[in-house]
Structure formats: C-alpha cells, structure tokens
C-alpha cells in the first residue's frame, strides 16, 4: 500500500483521493490494486460467486413474493452486493456482523446457507430463525450473524455492546455494524457511536448510503451530505468511498477492521451505493427518475465484476460453469423452502422464554 | 346523506377539514408529504397545503415528537404521524415524560394540544418488531387521551375531536383497517371522547372490543346468532377516557362479558375493563369476565402461527360459549 491510512482525527488528514472517492472524502488508501494473478484471480472469482448468489437468491425471492409465497416486507439488496461481500471478505470467520432489515445479502456473505435463508423467507421451520423472524430478522449464531433488525438504528447500540464484550474478553474479534444513511438521524446512531468512541471498542460502523431512505433522498434528510463528518465530533477515524469495485470495498474495510482488531479503535465508514429496486417490494420508487436508475445500473457491481474477470483473462466458460452451479444451488434452496414443514405452534412459548414460561 | 369511503380517506378528510378551519394545525412525519404517506393516509395533502404545513421528517421519532410537543406548548396544533405505533417506542420518553406531564408539572400553565397518530397492532407477517399493539402502554398514562376507531365515520369524528382537543391525544389506527369502507355522513362532525357505541344489540352476552377487533367481535356475534345466541357488541372507540356506563349498562342487561383486543393478556385494556365490571356490576355477573387477546408470546412471522396468535372469531366464539357455560372449556 502506497499510503498509510489516516487519522485519529479525520479532518487533519486529507489524502490523495482515488477517482472512486466520494468528493470531499477524507482518508482512505486511494485506488484498488488489480487482482493478482493466480490466487488473486481466484479470490475475485470467489467474491463474484457470492455476489451472483445474492443477486439470484433475491431475484427468486422477488418472484416468490409476487406469487404470495413470501409475506410481510421484503427489502432487496440488489445493487448493493459489493458492499456486503467486500466487507465480509475483510473479516475472520468468528468476527461479528449485525445489520438492518435489508439483511439477505449480508447474511449470505457472512456464511448463512441459502437453504436456511430461503426457508426463513418462506416462514418454514427449517429457516434460520425457524420461520419466526422472516425477511427482516435473519439470525445465524453459527456464523456470528447477529441478526437483521426492523427498528431503524435500534441495533447500533447493540453492535457497540457486542464489541464491548469482545474488548471485555479480549477475544480480538471485530464487529461490523451495517445501517442505511437514514439511520444517521436517529438517537440510537449517536448514542451507539458515541459510546463506542468513548470506550474505544473494536467495531466498524458501515453506513451503506444508497441515497434514499424509503422515498426520501438524502438531500432532504441530512443537513450535511457527508455521514463521516460526524466522526470528527466523536474523535474517531473515518473513510468514505463508492462501492463500485468489490475489491476496493474489501481493501478499505480491511483497514478499518485491522485498526479495530489491533488498536481497538472504531471507524465510521460511509460507502456510497445504490439500490436498483424500491425500498421494499411494495414501493414502486416513483420518487426517482428512470434515467437516474439506468445511469446507476451501468455500474452494476455484479456485471462489473464479471467483466473484470473476463478482462483479467478468466475464461467465460468457467464463469458460466460457476453461474450454473450457483443457479442450481438457488433452485435447490427454493425447492428446500417449498418442501420444508411449517413451524410447530409449540415453538411459540419455547422461543419466548428460555426455561419455564413466565406468564 | 352519507358516502361510502375508506378508513384512510375518512382520516384524511378530518385532517384536511381541520387544517382548513385552523391554520395552526399542521402534519409532520416520515414520508407524509412527497411520498404521499407510507399508507397513503396523507395522499394529496402536500399539494393542498404545501411543505410548510405538511412536513417530511428524517427518521428521528424522538426528535420530531419532541418538536411537536414544543410547538404545541407555545400555541401550534401539530399532528404527528408515526409510520407505525411500533416506532413510537423510540419516542416513548417524549410522550410519557413531556407531553403527558407538561400541564401538571407547570401547574396548569401549559397545555399540549398535539395529536399523535398512525397505524397500530399487527399487519400481515411483518414480524415481532412491527406487530405490537401499543395502545395499552399509553392508555395507562394520565395526561393523555387514547382513541381507537373501528369504522370510517368514527375515525373521522374522533380525529376531528383529537385535533380540537387541548390535550395530547393518541389516535390508534389499525393497519389492516385502512382500506375498509364504511358510510360516513356528509356532515360528520367531531365525536366526543369517552362515548362507546353499542354496535349490535343482544341479550345473552356482551362482547367489548375496539379498533379492528370490533369487526372480529361482529363476525363472532353473527356466527353465534346462528346458534341462537343473542350477542351485544360494545365498540369502545375511546380507551381513555373509558365509557364505564355503556359497558355496565350492557353487562346489567346480558350478565356476561368477553373483552376482545389485540394487546397482550398481561395487564392491558381487557384487564382494565374486567376490573371495572367486577367493581361496578358485580351483582349483575353470571360468569367471570373473560378476555380474548393476542397470545402471550412474541409475534411470529409464519402466517399460520401469526393467525394463531391474533384473536380470531373462533376464539371469541369459544370464550362466549364458556361464559354461557355451553360447549367445552
Ligand atoms: C424507528 C423507525 N422509524 C421508521 C421506520 C420505517 N422505516 C423503515 S426503513 C426506513 C428507511 C430507512 O432508510 P435507510 O436507513 O437509508 O436504509 P435503506 O432502507 O436505504 O437501506 C424507514 C423510514 C423504522 N423501521 N424504524
């Protein structure tokens, strides 16, 4: 790496920005290195596979939702795949992850099985949360996926608590906490980040800024359209960049993860991204223009990564073979969900309390 | 004359008419303006009143609830929408510790004429964090009023009364009622709080309900009638103040009562009604008052389990038969 990364105090260190940096971005390394030959390209292939899996799972979920097989709210991650996949690539397996209701891609990237995810969407007993949580509440203890949460910003203090436990036990684990830019307005954000900064907890706060909170563009929710400017007030490092390239996401998040692991210093990261669908399946997204959407789709991270693989000399037929493999995995997950049993009513009490029911 | 309109239209008409009547009234909340309301209750209102009076907020429930309370203290009359009452928990401190207490803390110097409103209770398969029936948390608090209409006409009348009231009023709108239609008189005016409605006359048993559960109680009553059981249904409409008289009159006529609501069974509106009946109409009772509530567990996402948790007509019917000592327990 050419540059050291910044900044206990972000405003002191304006470093040379890569073309992908958000205007006004502070810090970061600038630029992505091309994947190295051999092992390098296999790594990019692995990231592509995950992104493609997430894309295809969610396309099938959208179809199932339209057929009434999935109920409630369904918030898709389509368009944002590079964030979750890139960030997770920077983690050790036993690091912790926690996020919002837009959680499918994060859960899969953390290692949740497609079967458990799909069955949860179907509300089946074989789902990751036994069909009790649904789309917004993907939990998987085995992979340290600490869940998706439905109250905006409510999980941010929890994330700080998880990192507190890591510091308490000195287990060298890092917590990644994802949220949208809409969450930055709510008290839970301030209180969670503020305490994490005060107590120097090993955590990375990742704001996935997809420019809209529900139907509201960020210009109407933030007085300063730069989430990382808040880091100054907490005295923690920050980073800010576009999620066009999954390897760059990995690289930039890795710096924050390393900092958390080595020095127990939290970082506030703002990753600029875009969702191609509405806020949820019931949102026709009339608040943005078709031209804007088309423009953003030109940067589709899944297509870009595929193109990059090709330009790096990876054979198309190997990509196709991999895609066919993912396709089979996705369809198997749909079948698994379809054929799984409904959860038993006896679960209701048993999951409300541990031990005897306290009525 | 009356028009057959949806619940959400009735609420919107009430807000529009009151905003036209009184320029101190304004609407504030997430997505109420440009997006036309998450549940389209405020559709068209931004065009009509502009963004000075129909105000989109960031996701900051505690903040904008507090802003509403502050504005109300000094003479405005805010209507604050929560996208659902589930999220009002984030603003609970503002409502409990400020809105409800201001008048008393100030020795009666300051009023807080604010309306908090939005969809409440379960929707369809939205999981535990989006399915709470929140009314009983609020109905326990002195200093605020809580209403929960079941029909469009009541929704319009109670919303108008809420906006004109000089106290904080909470309007609990069931999310699953918004598209339900009903007749609303052309000249529907404000409906005074604390007046329950006997929406069905009967002699064998009283069902007390409110909000969407009134419709469930009506469905159960129709089924029971086919078995020769005559059911009276009391729609509370207003939870605080609570209309004891109508409840007691009905129980004195039928001698048996079942309360139906979507909140949890521990404490809550059902417990309150049961307590009042045993204190005020003990001699009239031929059976203990029963409650049909949401099960005492977190709300599951799975559709069948969700239906199992939320009161359905069959559970109301079973409880009715129990207080009539018919059928099994
Ligand atoms: C406290 C709270 N208020 C309101 C909502 C309703 N709500 C759900 S998602 C959302 C928009 C969030 O936008 P953002 O944080 O940018 O995340 P994105 O959906 O874009 O990923 C809103 C207002 C909620 N879930 N919780």
The string of pLDDT tens digits covering residues B199-227 is 999 999 999 999 999 999 999 999 999 99
Name every chain B residue with its beta carbon within 8 A of the beta carbon of A352: 296-298
Residue nearest to atom 20 of ligand 1 (CA): A213
pLDDT tier at B327, thresholds 50, 70, 90:
confident
Inter-chain contact A348–B34, Cβ cutoff 8 Å? no
Give the catalytic positions of B in this structure: 61, 130
| Position B150 pLDDT exceeds 50 | yes
Q: Which of residues 155-194 of A touch B (CB under 8 A)?
A: 182-183, 185-188
| Position A150 pLDDT exceeds 60 | yes
Q: What angle do CA B3, B7, B11 make, to 5 degrees?
A: 95
A349 contact B CB<8A: yes
Q: What pLDDT is attached to residue A22?
A: 76
A206 touches ligand 1 (CB under 6 Å): no
> What does the alpha-carbon distance between residue B12 and residue A336 come to, in Å, rounded to a whole number?
45
Q: Which of residues 133-162 of A touch B (CB under 8 A)?
A: 133-137, 149-154
Enumerate the β-bridge partners of residue B260. B209, B292
> What does the alpha-carbon distance between residue B211 and residue B203 come to, in Å, rounded to a whole number?
23
Contact in structure between A66 and A42 (CB atoms under 8 Å) = no
Specify burial of residue B45 (Cβ count, 10 A radius: 0-12, 13-18, 19+).
buried
Tell whether omega for the bond before B7 is within 30 degrees of 0, i.e. cis: no
A35 touches ligand 1 (CB under 6 Å): no
3-state helix, strand and coil shares in percent for chain A, rounded to the nearest 5: 45, 10, 45
Q: What pLDDT is attached to residue A14?
A: 30
pLDDT digits (tens, 9 = 90+) for B180-201: 999 999 999 999 999 999 999 9
Q: What pLDDT is attached to residue A21?
A: 72
Q: What pLDDT is attached to residue A238?
A: 98
Chain B closest CA to A270's CA: distance in Å? 18
B4: number of Cβ within 10 Å:
9
Residue by residue, DSSP assigns B42-74 as: TTTHHHHH-TTTEEE--S-HHHHHHHHHHHHHT
Inter-chain contact A154–B90, Cβ cutoff 8 Å? yes
B43 contact A CB<8A: no
A350 contact B CB<8A: no
> Mean pLDDT over residues A29-56, rounded?
77
Contact in structure between A115 and A126 (CB atoms under 8 Å) = yes
Q: Which residues contact A327 (CB under 8 A, 6 or more apart)?
A: A56
| Position A24 pLDDT exceeds 80 | no
Continuous segment of H or E residues that includes residue B118? strand B115-120
Q: What's the pTM?
A: 0.93
Contact in structure between A247 and A83 (CB atoms under 8 Å) = no
> What does the alpha-carbon distance between residue A300 and residue A81 come to, in Å, rounded to a whole number?
9
Calculate the average pLDDT of chain A.
92
Which is higher by pLDDT, B227 or A33? B227
- Nearest-Å Rg of the Cα atoms of chain B is 20
CA end-to-end span of chain A: 59
The two tokens of residue A149 are 């949460």
> Mean pLDDT over residues A309-313, rounded?
97
pLDDT digits (tens, 9 = 90+) for B284-315: 999 999 999 999 999 999 999 999 999 999 99
B305 contact A CB<8A: yes
> What does the alpha-carbon distance between residue A257 and residue A91 come to, in Å, rounded to a whole number?
7
| Position A32 pLDDT exceeds 70 | no
What is the strand order of the sheet B231-235 is part of? B197-200, B231-235, B205-209, B257-260, B290-292
Q: What pLDDT is attached to residue A164?
A: 98
A126: nearest CA in chain B?
Answer: B302
Residue among A153, A213, A215, A221 whose CB has most ligand 1 atoms within 8 A, to mutate? A213
Q: What pLDDT is attached to residue A36?
A: 45
Contact in structure between A119 and A340 (CB atoms under 8 Å) = yes
A186: nearest CA in chain B?
Answer: B60
Continuous segment of H or E residues that includes residue B12? helix B7-21
B63 contact A CB<8A: yes
ipTM of the complex: 0.94
Alpha helices in chain A (DSSP H): 39-66, 81-89, 104-110, 114-121, 156-169, 187-198, 229-234, 246-263, 290-297, 301-311, 316-339, 347-352
Inter-chain contact B301–A150, Cβ cutoff 8 Å? no
pLDDT tier at A1, thresholds 50, 70, 90:
very low
pLDDT digits (tens, 9 = 90+) for B4-45: 999 999 999 999 999 999 999 999 999 999 999 999 999 999
In B236-298, the DSSP E strands lie at 238-240, 257-260, 290-292
> Mean pLDDT over residues B97-106, rounded?
97
Enumerate the β-bridge partners of residue A240. A270
A280: nearest CA in chain B?
Answer: B38
pLDDT digits (tens, 9 = 90+) for A70-128: 999 999 999 999 999 999 999 999 999 999 999 999 999 999 999 999 999 999 999 99
Name every chain A residue with its beta carbon within 8 A of the beta carbon of B297: 348-349, 351-352
Q: What pLDDT is attached to residue A19?
A: 46
| Position A25 pLDDT exceeds 70 | no
B171 contact A CB<8A: no
> What does the alpha-carbon distance between residue B242 and residue B3 come to, in Å, rounded to a whole number?
29
Contact in structure between A305 and A44 (CB atoms under 8 Å) = yes
| Position A139 pLDDT exceeds 50 | yes
Inter-chain contact A123–B35, Cβ cutoff 8 Å? no
């Amino acid at each position: 790496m050419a540059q050291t990364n910044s900044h206990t105090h972000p405003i002191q260190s304006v470093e040379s920005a890569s073309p992908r940096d958000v205007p006004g971005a502070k810090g970061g390394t600038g630029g992505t290195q091309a994947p190295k030959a051999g092992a390098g390209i296999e790594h990019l292939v692995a990231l592509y596979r995950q992104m493609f899996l997430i894309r295809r799972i969610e396309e099938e979920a959208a179809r199932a939702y339209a057929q009434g097989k999935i109920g409630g709210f369904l918030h898709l991650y389509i368009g944002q795949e590079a964030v979750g996949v890139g960030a997770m690539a920077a983690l050790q397996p036993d690091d912790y992850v926690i996020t919002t209701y837009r959680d499918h891609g994060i859960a899969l990237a953390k290692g949740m099985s497609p079967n458990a995810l799909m069955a949860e969407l179907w509300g089946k007993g074989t789902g990751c949360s036994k069909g009790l949580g649904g789309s917004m509440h993907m939990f998987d203890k085995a992979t340290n996926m600490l869940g998706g949460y439905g109250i905006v910003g409510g999980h941010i203090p929890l994330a700080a608590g998880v990192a507190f436990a890591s510091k308490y036990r000195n287990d060298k684990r890092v917590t990644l906490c994802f949220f949208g830019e809409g969450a930055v307005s709510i008290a839970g954000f301030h209180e969670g980040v503020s305490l994490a900064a005060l107590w120097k907890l090993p955590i990375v706060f990742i704001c996935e800024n997809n420019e809209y909170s529900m139907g509201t563009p960020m210009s109407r929710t933030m007085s300063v359209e730069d989430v990382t400017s808040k880091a100054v007030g907490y005295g923690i490092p920050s980073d800010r960049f576009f999620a066009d390239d999954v390897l760059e996401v990995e690289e930039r998040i890795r710096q924050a993860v390393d900092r958390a692991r080595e020095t127990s210093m939290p970082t506030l990261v703002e990753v600029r991204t875009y969702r191609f669908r509405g806020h949820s399946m019931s949102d026709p997204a009339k608040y943005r223009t078709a031209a804007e959407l088309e423009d953003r789709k030109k940067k589709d991270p899944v297509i870009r990564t595929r193109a990059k693989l090709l330009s790096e000399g990876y054979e198309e037929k190997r990509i196709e073979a991999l895609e066919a493999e993912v396709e089979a995995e996705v369809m198997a997950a749909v079948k698994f969900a379809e054929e799984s049993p409904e959860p038993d009513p006896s679960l209701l009490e048993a999951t409300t309390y541990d031990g005897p029911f306290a009525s | 004359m009356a028009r057959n309109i949806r619940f959400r239209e009735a609420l919107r008409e009430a807000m529009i008419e009151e905003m036209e009547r009184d320029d101190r009234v304004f609407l504030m909340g997430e997505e109420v303006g440009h997006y036309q309301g998450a549940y389209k209750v405020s559709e068209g209102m931004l065009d009509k009143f502009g963004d000075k009076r129909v105000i989109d907020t960031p996701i900051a429930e505690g903040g904008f609830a507090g802003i509403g309370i502050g504005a109300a203290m000094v003479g405005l009359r805010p209507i604050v929408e929560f996208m659902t009452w589930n999220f009002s928990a984030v603003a609970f401190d503002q409502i409990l510790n400020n809105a409800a207490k201001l008048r008393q803390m100030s020795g009666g110097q300051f009023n807080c004429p604010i309306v908090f409103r939005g969809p409440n209770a379960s929707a369809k398969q939205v999981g535990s964090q989006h399915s709470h029936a929140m009314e009983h948390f609020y109905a326990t608090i002195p200093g605020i009023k809580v209403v929960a209409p079941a029909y469009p006409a009541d929704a319009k009348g109670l919303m108008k009364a809420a906006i004109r009231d000089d106290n904080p009023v909470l309007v609990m709108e069931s999310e699953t009622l918004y598209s339900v239609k009903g007749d609303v008189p052309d000249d529907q005016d404000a409906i005074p709080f604390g007046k329950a409605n006997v929406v069905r006359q009967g002699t064998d048993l009283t069902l007390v309900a409110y909000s969407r559960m009134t419709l469930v109680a009506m469905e159960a009553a129709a089924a029971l009638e086919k078995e020769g059981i005559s059911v009276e249904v009391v729609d509370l409409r207003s939870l605080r103040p609570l209309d004891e008289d109508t409840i007691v009159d009905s129980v004195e006529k039928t001698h048996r009562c079942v309360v139906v609501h979507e909140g949890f069974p521990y404490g809550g509106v059902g417990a309150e009604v049961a307590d009042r009946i045993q204190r005020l109409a003990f001699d009239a009772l031929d059976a203990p008052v029963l409650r049909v509530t949401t099960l005492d567990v977190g709300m599951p996402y799975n559709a069948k389990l969700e239906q199992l948790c939320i009161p359905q007509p069959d559970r109301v019917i079973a409880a009715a038969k129990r207080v009539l000592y018919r059928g099994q327990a």
